[in-house]
Each structure stands twice: as structure tokens, then as C-alpha cells.
Amino acid sequence: MAVSTPPARDDVGSLEAGLDALETPVSPTDKHAGAKRILGSVWPPILAIIVLILFWWAAYALKLKPEFVLPSPASAWQSFLTGLESGTTQQAIFNSLQRAFVGFLISVVLGTVIGLALAKSSIFRRGFGPLITGLQILPSVAWVPAAIIWFGLSNEAMLFVVIMGATPSIANGIKSGVDQIPTLYPRVGKMLGAHGFNQIRFVILPASLPGYLAGLRQGWAFAWRSLMAAELIVFSPALGLGLGQVLDQNRTLGDMAGVMATIISILFVGILVELCFFAPLERRVLRQRGLLGDKL
Amino acid sequence: MTNQTVTSATPHVVADLPPDTTPAAVTLERVTKVFNDAAGVPPVLQDLSLRVGAGEFVCLLGASGCGKSTLLNLVAGLDSPTTGQIEVPGGKTALMFQESALFPWLTAGKNIELALRLSGVPRTEWKAEIARLLDLVHLSGQENKRIHELSGGMRQRVALARALAQRARILLMDEPFAALDAITRDVLHEELHRIWREADLTVIFVTHNVREAVRLGQRVLLMSSRPGMFVRQWQIDIEGPRRIESPAVSALSAEITEDLRREIRRHGR
């Protein structure tokens, strides 16, 4: 009877090794998982686009409206190709992206500082919190007249509108990101010796990253649409043409096919930035933290 | 197995060391902690005095509401007492929590690295230190694992390695193994004892599990609830390897459990 004999030291070591092996999650290794995922996420939107174009074409073919009001998908495509050939479309996309990007970057800096202040100071939060949420609801196109009066028909005017559009979303994003941090993490940080700036750098910012990223994503969407609103109105020969200005030109020329082609360009640039930048970034952050579940 | 009773009738209960032991690593002098000043709310901790010797392994045992975690927070410096004195001559303490409390945005190795960095260990030593500490908790080669890729027991071992990375001589543990299954907990008890001896640490270990306290502690302190006070203490000197199923551990556990039940019953009246 050796029932109550205490196991030797080596036995504990092998027991531990066995437990570690048993309790480590086994992840399936599928080499083609990445390719399958991309394929699986590509075909449904393409199918949806085909369906939409079919509806558009049907409405056109039924002659519901005269052609100068409702052009065919083919003529919009033609107009898009012409824009590409002359290089105006590329130039407009480049100009717009550049403005949106600069405005977005400034908004990230401002929004982060304001968001951290909202999260960390209860007086600041009570005072400015509702105001900033209000600004987030306010359509940023409302700032365009003020921007024109203050900055004239200039790049600064457009930048101002973009910043007013994007900053509140980013600030609220990081605020709610910080609010959702489990109370344990700041305590652990304190125990490890992270105080003041180190606490923000090593604990608060990384812990709030998922909420922060959601805020950045929304901030980008607001930046892009604010810029389009500003570009539609702020027009001066001295400024480079952006997509919004091209759109307004199409309208004055009564070029409906051009209008459709430009709207679709604006849409696709927005989708492209989302797909190529924000979506992969968010996936990466969530996967690192094991928050993606089985959706590898 | 000796046992000293500190009756709760004494107004000032001192949970002292046996006279022949080493200098104190942690001293509490008549510590009281009140969270809510409203009338009728008893203090969480009342008039606690405690001396823990350098290198000692002390287990604090009590039902919920006895202020065990509050006591650890006070010793860790995360909170300060309402009245009374706390002295930690060594200065630095490391605290381990019930949940692993590892940062999920860092790998196992980077969690340890952050502790080294914030403790002022020179950058050139990080790599070797991380390898040494992971080896100490038998997790060599796991530094690039994400936290969610580790089992509960492995997480707590990484958390232990991270606590050791802080170069603190005093390790405070707040029910660190409560969420683990029995076999894993048993293995971790063994590991903790080994590391305690090898690294020459002072450990204050909080638990509500009587057997765990008897299995691990050189001294077990039983606390009452609302207000939290020391009721009784046991000095444990079981010879030879001590295991959770050892008859000596069982016998003393039965005795302590009886006292703990009596303490809990008092609140029902």
C-alpha cells in the first residue's frame, strides 16, 4: 500500500509538464486559412455590388427618368475611365487623401489629449463631456460657413472642418476605451512601479487600445465625410482639385455620369482605407489579446 | 505543532513572532482601516498588530469580509491605514492577485520585461533575466506565448515570475490559486515552496482555504470578520515533506476549520 506516499520531486515536475501540455489550447494549423478567409470575405461584397448595378441598369433600361438625370452604369464607367486617362481623378484622390490625412493626424493628437483628460479628470469630464458628445452629433458641414469667414477659401478652412468633425469621435473613443479598462490593470501597474506618465504609457494606453481603435476608425470616417462637405463648398482656382470639388464641377456642367462616377470614387476610397488600414489593425490587436475567438 | 491562542477578548491583539526568530520584514502596529465613516459601519480592520519575520511564510485565513485583501493592499502600499503604523524595512513588496492579472496585450516574456524595466533593471540584463525567471517557474521557452494561449496554472506561474522580476524580498499573495483546479493547485504549492526557499523570500499568503493555509504556512493566522481582527494563530512545524493529503495537515485543518466555523456562526446571531 503506497497510497499516501508523497511523490518525489521529479514526479511533481512530470505532473506539471503533463498539465501544461493538456491545458494548452490546441490551435488547428491550416496553412491555407488566410487565403480561405480572404476568398470567403471577398465574394459576398462583389455579389452585392453586381446586384446593385443590375438594379441601376434595370432602372435605366426601363427609362424611369431621362438619361441626363439617370445615366447608365456604362456611361458612368466611361466617365470614370476618362477621368483616369486624363489623370484628374488620381490627382483629385491624392489631394483629398492628403487633406483628410493631415486633418486626421491633427485630430488624433487633439482627440487623444482631450480623451485622456475626459477619462482622468472628473471636473473636465462633467464640464466638457456633454459638449464634446454634442460636437460629435453636430454635422461638421455646419462649420463650413464659419471656416470660410475665418480662414477664407483656403486649405486651412477645409482642415478646420475636418478637425472639428474627427476630434470629438476620437476623444470619446479613447475616453470609453479607458473607462472599460478592468480596475485590476491600473493596480497591477502601480504595483509594478508605473506611475504618472509611465502608467499612461505602459498600462492605460495599451489597455484602452481596442476602444481607442474604434474611435480612430470612426474619426477617420468623420474626417473623410467632413472633408467632402468642405470641398463641395470651398472652391478656389488656387487650391488643388479634390474629389468634392470635382463633384461640384460635374454638377455645374450637368454631367450626371460624372457625378455618379465621382460619388463612387469617394465611396471606394473610404472603403479602401478601411479595408487596407483599420480592419487589419483591429484584427491584429484583438487576436493578440485572444478576443477574436475562432474567427482566425 | 504548537498553537498559541490569542483570545479575541484582549482589546489589543498582537500576532507576534515566537521570541527566537529573525528581524521583522513587515510590522503592523495597531492598524485600523475604515472605508465608510457612517455610523454603524464597523471598520474593515480593527487594531491589528502583526510582525512577520524575514524569510517567514505566513498564511492569513478568514471568511469573506475579514479584510484579508485590504490588509495586503495596505502592506503593498496601494492604500493607507486610517490609523496605525505599517513598516516594511525592505521597502519593496510584490503583489500577486487571484486572477493572473498579466497584461493581455503583451507576451509572457514582455510581461516580465515590463516589471524588470519599471524596477530599473538595466536593458542589457533583460533577456537573461527573463530566461532565468521563466526557467525558475518551469516555463522555459514560453516567452513568446500570448497570455490567452496559456493555461490558468501557467498564467499564475508567469505572474509569479513577474512578481519575482520586481526584485522585492516580500511577496504578497491574494488567493493566487483560488481559481485553479485541485491538481494544478497542488503542483503550484510545491513550486511556490521551492521558490520561496531558493529565493529566500518572505511570503504573506491570503486564502480562505484551510488546507491550503496549513499545507503552505509556517504560521497560520485566523481572522474574524467585520471588523477584521486576528483571533488565533498556529505555529506549524510538520516534519518532512508536507502534502495536502498528509495526515498531519488533515488533522490540523480539521481543528482550524472548527474555529473558522465558530467565527462564521457568530455573525449569524
Cβ-contact B45, B190 below 8 angstroms: no
Q: Are strands B45-53 and B93-96 parallel, antiparallel or unpaired?
A: unpaired
Q: Report CA B95 to chain centroid distance, whole Å.
A: 8
Res B240: pLDDT: 64
Please name the residue that has the C-alpha cell 496605525.
B84
Q: What is the pLDDT of residues B16-63, one digit of tens each?
A: 655 555 778 888 888 888 877 666 677 788 888 888 888 888 998 887
Q: Is the pTM of this model over 0.80?
A: no
The residues with which B263 forms a beta bridge, in sequence order, are none
CATH 3.40.50.300 domain position(s) in chain B? 2-92+169-268
B101: contact with A, CB 8 A cutoff: yes
pLDDT classification of B6: cutoffs 50, 70, 90 = very low
Burial class (CB in 10 A: 0-12, 13-18, 19+), A2: exposed
Integer distance in angstroms from the first to the last C-alpha of chain A? 51
Of residues B106, B103, B97, B100, the one with CA closest to residue B78: B97
B114: contact with A, CB 8 A cutoff: yes
Q: Can you list the domains of chain A with their CATH numbers?
A: 93-289 (1.10.3720.10)
CB–CB contact B191 A16 (8 Å): yes
pLDDT (average), residues A200-210: 89
* Closest residue of chain B to A23, computed from CA coordinates: B151
Sign of CA dihedral A41, A267, A218, A93: positive
Res A51: pLDDT: 93
Min Cα distance A206 → chain B (Å) is 7
Query: To which H or E segment does residue B49 belong?
Result: strand B45-53
A48: contact with B, CB 8 A cutoff: no
A33: contact with B, CB 8 A cutoff: no
Q: Are strands B45-53 and B14-15 parallel, antiparallel or unpaired?
A: parallel
Min Cα distance A171 → chain B (Å) is 22
CA–CA distance, B196 with B215 (Å, rounded to integer): 14
CB-nearest partner of A16 from B118, B138, B150: B138
Mean residue pLDDT across chain B: 81
Q: How would you write B156-225 as a 3-class SS string?
A: HHHHHHHHHHCCCCEEEEECCCCCCCHHHHHHHHHHHHHHHHHHCCEEEEEECCHHHHHHHCCEEEEEEC
List, in order, residues 6 or more apart from B105 with CB less than 8 Å away: A206, A207, A209, A285, A288, A289
Say if residue A98's pLDDT is above 80.
yes
Min Cα distance B150 → chain A (Å) is 6
Min Cα distance A209 → chain B (Å) is 9
B167-184 b/e (C-beta count within 10 Å ≥ 16 → b): ebbbbbbbbbbeebeeeb
CB–CB contact B78 A190 (8 Å): yes
CB–CB contact B115 A206 (8 Å): no
Chain A (203-262) residues lying within 8 Å, Cβ to Cβ, of chain B: 203, 206-207, 209
Q: What is the pLDDT of residues A134-179, one digit of tens each?
A: 998 898 889 999 999 999 888 899 999 999 999 999 999 999 989 8
B2-92+169-268 CATH choice from 3.30.930.10, 3.20.20.140, 3.40.109.10, 3.40.50.300? 3.40.50.300
CA–CA distance, B154 with B158 (Å, rounded to integer): 6
Cβ-contact B263, B224 below 8 angstroms: yes
Min Cα distance B49 → chain A (Å) is 24
List, in order, residues 6 or more apart from B260 with CB less than 8 Å away: B61, B62, B63, B210, B222
Q: What is the pLDDT of residues B245-262, one digit of tens each?
A: 777 778 788 888 888 888
Query: To which H or E segment does residue B253 belong?
Result: helix B247-268
Q: How would you write A102-143 as a 3-class SS string?
A: HHHHHHHHHHHHHHHHHHHCHHHHHHHHHHHHHHHHCCHHHH
Please name the residue that has the C-alpha cell 527573463.
B130
B202: contact with A, CB 8 A cutoff: no
CA–CA distance, A153 with A149 (Å, rounded to integer): 8
Q: What is the pLDDT of residues A230-280, one digit of tens each?
A: 998 888 777 888 999 999 988 899 888 899 999 999 998 988 998 889 888
Res B117: pLDDT: 92
Percent residues over pLDDT 90 in chain A? 34
A106: contact with B, CB 8 A cutoff: no
